[in-house]
Amino acid sequence: MKKLFNLKMAHSGSIVGYLNEFNTLTSQLELVEIYFEDEIRALILLFSLLDAWDGLVMAVSNSCGIRILKFDDDMGVLLSEKMRRKTSGSAETSGNALSVNRRGRSGDR
């Protein structure tokens, strides 16, 4: 768990490599029966990104409103942003935010 909570994306690393490392650590924890709710995994992932991804993290965090964050949705947003940055010629660590779709959930949280 210490490795997971201390994990930070490397400045020179790619988001794909980082997602693989993150998934490897969470899979290893599941092997010893340590599980995180989907929303907690999503939050750990978002807040372990470089500061250059803060715009995207803020957009995702603000867009959730009353919905639960989903880990798979976060991964999709990150990979989409990587592709957007690649096609626009921006560096992978530029701070541009990506808008995300809102989905509802019940208010009994």
3-state secondary structure of 103: coil
Sorted by where each begins, the domain ranges of the chain are 2-88
Angle at 45 between CA 37 and CA 30, to 5 degrees: 45
Q: How much is the pLDDT for 53?
A: 85
* pLDDT at position 22 over 90: yes
Q: What is the pLDDT of residues 56-77, one digit of tens each?
A: 888 887 776 667 778 888 888 8
2 C-beta neighbours (distance < 10 Å), count: 6
Among 9-18, 36-45, 98-107, the range with the most confident prediction by mean pLDDT is 36-45
- Please compute the mean of the pLDDT values over residues 52-58 and round it to a whole number: 85
